[in-house]
Amino acid sequence: MRIDILTIFPEMVNSPLRQSIIGKAVEKGLVKIPVHDIRKFAKDKHNTVDDVPFGGGAGMVMKIEPLTSALESVLDKSIQTKIILTSPQGKRFDQKAAKRLSLEKHLVIICGHYKGIDQRIEQLFPIEEVSIGDYVLTGGEFACLVIVDAIVRLVPGAIGDFTSAESDSFFEDILGYPQYTRPANFRGLGVPEILLSGKHKKIESWRREQALKKTLENRPDLLDMELLGQEDLKLIDRMKKDKT
């Protein structure tokens, strides 16, 4: 998999890409993540990448010429490319989007900035706008790193034990279950006895119940009743009755 990142602040993303799971995936050759400085594609001596908006108003807009040149420099006609733009106007990024994008062979992520980019870029290229949440960031680099991290951890081999990724929150559209580790007793606080029992089927059932409970309490909007099994529905029904 290859992920090209287009940004006007390459150093904001270079360091995190060398760390943790992403860095190891790059070292293993599972993914390539070149970072490209859009300023290098500007034509003037000041490497200008922004200008005032037509029609007036506050703020600046990313210019179309350097961004177009940067995009064309990374596109490979031999493979299909998915182009992502980090933007507060985009569709909400979630685990389903991460799964979908992790199957792409080539991704290009444009780090949005200022008041946005010249809209004509979307007439030249098939671009999908993506937002990581309803808040304002300094720049699209932070959103880009979130997207890359969520995608790379799903690439086969990036995580030594893929079942670890499968048990993450949101993997099945529910939150994760509570986790405990040594010591078994800390300041008088123990761990649930079921986790020490060695009875794996009962542990799995307990974890599923706890995950559903956490989701019902914190993110009920994630629960799709049509996709849940009968046992899950019974558990949820019992939890709702216990709350009343």
CATH, residue 209: 1.10.1270.20
pLDDT value, residue 87: 94
Of residues 147, 141, 155, the one with CA closest to residue 14: 141
Beta strand pairing status for 61-62 and 106-110?
unpaired
Q: In 3-state terms, the chain is what percent helix, strand and coil (to 5)?
A: 40, 15, 45
pLDDT value, residue 107: 98
Task: Report residues of the chain scoring pLDDT below 50.
Answer: none
| Same domain flag for 116 and 237 | no
Whether residue 164 is contained in a domain is answered as no
pLDDT value, residue 143: 97
Q: Which domain holds residue 74?
A: 2-152
Whether residue 11 is contained in a domain is answered as yes
Q: Which residues contact 239 (CB under 8 A, 6 or more apart)?
A: 212, 213, 216
pLDDT value, residue 163: 52
Helix (H, G, I), strand (E, B) or coil at 215: helix
| Same domain flag for 129 and 211 | no
pLDDT value, residue 165: 58
Q: What is the DSSP string of 83-142?
A: EEEEEEEEEEP-HHHHHHHHT-SEEEEE---TT-B-TTHHHHS-EEEEESSSS--S-HHH
Count the domains in the chain.
Answer: 2
| Same domain flag for 47 and 130 | yes
